[in-house]
């Protein structure tokens, strides 16, 4: 895994239109602390470089077996059938010798190291698209916060270049890491999967407590940092878009949608109530200290209401699909979500309407979780 000297990236998507506003370049960071059973990017979960093997492409030439310096590749039987070729991940060092010589491109490395400078150069290639569309760059994954040092350097570099930035995150990171990244990002695409902790653990491998607590803190960040700070010294803090992957049979039930809607609304994601002005007006002319203090507290609450409301811009629904199934075969991993069907338009519409009853601005996408 790269970090301070650069980042390990497993994919770069140009002209992306679902990863934030406008036309964007999306960089997918390798490594994710979750292991969602439906993951659309299983190649992003392992934090290290990996190899894939595509038996459909393999022509059984055996060149890879002979050339591997670590003797990591073998044939499982006396057959020369390509399907019998296996790689021992415990002794493979990902030197890429075999991928370079494979005539059929059946073996491919997953994950490439980029220095911060080279990643920034790549991002700048599409400056004109960002400028014309109001777009920018999105750091996704995997989980970009797992390579937070490099991420912060990239965000700073983009800020200097006046390129809009979005961080697509699971929210599963220590608060100091998230808080630091928040100083430089313009937008967070923050995933919410299950409100029930037991289900979250069962289907993603981790508890949701840290995620929910981080989202709460992130939503409050602007308010907390601004109270008592003058307009001139205000630090610009990022906007938030909540992203919900809709996985039928797992998280599309009424109880989860209801709990999700209520939670987001409690963070101020619902309809805006501008009470800030009232609080300010009521301060004028009051000379009693105790009453001033009470009123300050009320005013802060009012400001919180206004500012938090303005922070959570939208809630995006990302319908599950199973296009990723072939990736699991290449990695030799069991695909545990094979019986799950994509949600129908009616299911998505019903969820959207339910969330809208909490005053949320809900947008539906045609693609799944990152
Ligand atoms: S959080 Fe996203 S990248 Fe990580 S395992 Fe889940 S679906 Fe995959
Ligand atoms: S070099 Fe490529 S095509 Fe030849 S056996 Fe190895 S994987 Fe198959
Ligand atoms: S990447 Fe290198 S060590 Fe790994 S199987 Fe290929 S040749 Fe062997």
Atom of ligand 2 nearest to the CA of 73: 6
What was the pLDDT predicted at 228? 46
What was the pLDDT predicted at 82? 45
Pocket probe mutation, ligand 2, options 51, 61, 65, 97, max atoms within 8 Å of Cβ = 61
Largest separation between any pair of C-alpha atoms in the chain: 93
Burial of 323 (0-12, 13-18, 19+ CB in 10 A): exposed
Residue 173 lies in a domain: yes
7 - beta bridge partners? 114
What was the pLDDT predicted at 106? 93
What was the pLDDT predicted at 1? 58
Question: CATH code at 185?
Answer: 3.20.20.70
Burial of 271 (0-12, 13-18, 19+ CB in 10 A): exposed
Cα gap 318→250, rounded to integer Å = 14
From first to last of its 370 residues, what are the pLDDT tens digits of the chain?
A: 555 579 999 999 999 999 999 999 999 999 999 999 999 999 999 999 999 888 889 998 999 999 999 999 998 765 454 457 888 988 999 999 999 999 999 999 999 999 999 999 999 999 999 999 999 999 999 999 999 999 999 999 999 999 999 999 999 999 999 999 999 999 999 999 999 999 999 999 999 999 999 999 999 886 544 544 444 444 568 999 999 999 999 999 999 999 999 999 999 766 533 333 333 333 333 444 455 455 444 444 433 333 434 589 999 999 998 887 888 887 778 889 989 999 999 999 999 999 999 999 999 987 444 5
Residue 120 lies in a domain: yes
Are residues 24 and 79 both part of a single domain? Answer: no
Q: How far is the CA of 58 from the centre of ligand 2 (A)?
A: 5
Q: How far is the CA of 306 from the centre of ligand 1 (A)?
A: 32
Atom of ligand 2 nearest to the CA of 85: 5
Q: How far is the CA of 103 from the centre of ligand 2 (A)?
A: 7
What was the pLDDT predicted at 23? 98
Atom of ligand 2 nearest to the CA of 63: 1
Q: Which of 91, 109, 127 delimits the end of a domain?
A: 109
Write a three-state SS string for 145-190.
HHHHHHHHHHHHHHHHCCCEEEEEECCCCCHHHHHHHHCCCCEEEE
Structural domain harbouring 334: 7-47+112-270+309-364
Instruction: Supply the Cα-derived Rg of the chain in whole angstroms.
Output: 24
What was the pLDDT predicted at 43? 92
Residue 104 lies in a domain: yes
Are residues 139 and 199 both part of a single domain? Answer: yes
Q: Is the CB of 45 under 6 A from ligand 1?
A: yes
Query: By the 8 A CB rule, do 38 and 244 touch?
Result: no
Are residues 184 and 223 both part of a single domain? Answer: yes
Are residues 170 and 207 both part of a single domain? Answer: yes
Q: Which of 109, 124, 143 delimits the end of a domain?
A: 109
Q: How far is the CA of 85 from the centre of ligand 2 (A)?
A: 8
Q: Is the CB of 82 under 6 A from ligand 2?
A: yes
Global confidence as pTM: 0.83
Residue 188 lies in a domain: yes
Residue 300 lies in a domain: no
Are residues 55 and 82 both part of a single domain? Answer: yes
Domain count, the chain: 2
What was the pLDDT predicted at 34? 98
Cα gap 357→258, rounded to integer Å = 10
Are residues 57 and 179 both part of a single domain? Answer: no
Question: CATH code at 103?
Answer: 3.30.70.20
* Protein residue whose Cα sits closest to atom 5 of ligand 1: 35
Are residues 59 and 169 both part of a single domain? Answer: no
Residue 285 lies in a domain: no
Cα gap 296→271, rounded to integer Å = 24
Pocket probe mutation, ligand 2, options 59, 73, 108, 109, max atoms within 8 Å of Cβ = 59
Are residues 152 and 243 both part of a single domain? Answer: yes
Are residues 195 and 220 both part of a single domain? Answer: yes
What was the pLDDT predicted at 54? 87
Cα gap 243→274, rounded to integer Å = 25
Residue 76 lies in a domain: yes
Are residues 23 and 164 both part of a single domain? Answer: yes
What was the pLDDT predicted at 160? 96
Cα gap 279→276, rounded to integer Å = 5
Residue 315 lies in a domain: yes
* Protein residue whose Cα sits closest to atom 6 of ligand 1: 36
* Protein residue whose Cα sits closest to atom 6 of ligand 3: 98
Are residues 95 and 181 both part of a single domain? Answer: no
Q: Is the CB of 32 under 6 A from ligand 1?
A: yes
Are residues 149 and 89 both part of a single domain? Answer: no
Q: Is the CB of 44 under 6 A from ligand 1?
A: yes
């Amino acid at each position: 895994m790269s970090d301070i000297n650069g980042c390990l990236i497993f994919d770069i998507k140009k002209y992306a239109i679902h990863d934030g506003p406008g036309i964007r370049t999306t960089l997918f960071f390798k490594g994710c602390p979750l292991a969602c059973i439906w993951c659309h990017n299983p190649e992003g979960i392992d934090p290290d470089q990996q190899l894939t093997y595509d038996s459909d492409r393999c022509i059984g030439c055996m060149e890879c077996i002979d050339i591997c310096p670590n003797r990591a590749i073998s044939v499982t039987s006396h057959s020369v059938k390509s399907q019998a070729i296996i790689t021992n991940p415990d002794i493979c060092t990902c030197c890429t010798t075999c991928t370079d010589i494979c005539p059929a491109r059946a073996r491919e490395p997953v994950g490439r190291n980029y220095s911060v400078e080279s990643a920034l150069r790549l991002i700048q290639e599409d400056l004109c698209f960002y400028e014309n569309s109001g777009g920018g760059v999105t750091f996704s994954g995997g989980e970009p916060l797992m390579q937070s040092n490099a991420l912060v350097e990239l965000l700073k570099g983009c800020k200097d270049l006046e390129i809009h930035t979005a961080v697509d995150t699971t929210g599963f990171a220590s608060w100091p890491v998230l808080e630091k990244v928040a100083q430089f990002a313009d937008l967070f695409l923050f995933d919410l999967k299950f409100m029930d902790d037991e289900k979250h653990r069962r289907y993603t491998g981790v508890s949701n407590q840290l995620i929910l607590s981080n989202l709460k803190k992130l939503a409050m960040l602007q308010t907390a940092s601004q109270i008592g700070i003058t307009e001139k010294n205000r630090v610009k803090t990022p906007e938030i878009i909540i992203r919900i992957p809709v996985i039928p049979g797992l998280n599309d039930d009424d109880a989860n949608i209801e709990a999700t809607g209520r939670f987001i609304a409690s963070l101020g994601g619902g309809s805006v109530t501008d009470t800030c002005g009232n609080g300010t007006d009521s301060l004028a002319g009051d000379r009693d200290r105790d009453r001033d203090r009470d009123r300050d507290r009320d005013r802060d609450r009012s400001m919180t209401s206004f500012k938090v409301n303005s922070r959570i811009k939208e809630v995006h629904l990302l319908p599950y699909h199973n296009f990723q199934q072939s990736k699991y075969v290449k990695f030799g991993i069991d695909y545990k979500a094979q019986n799950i069907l994509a949600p129908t338009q009616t299911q998505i519409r019903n969820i959207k309407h339910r969330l809208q009853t909490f005053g949320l601005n809900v947008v539906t996408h045609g693609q799944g979780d990152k």
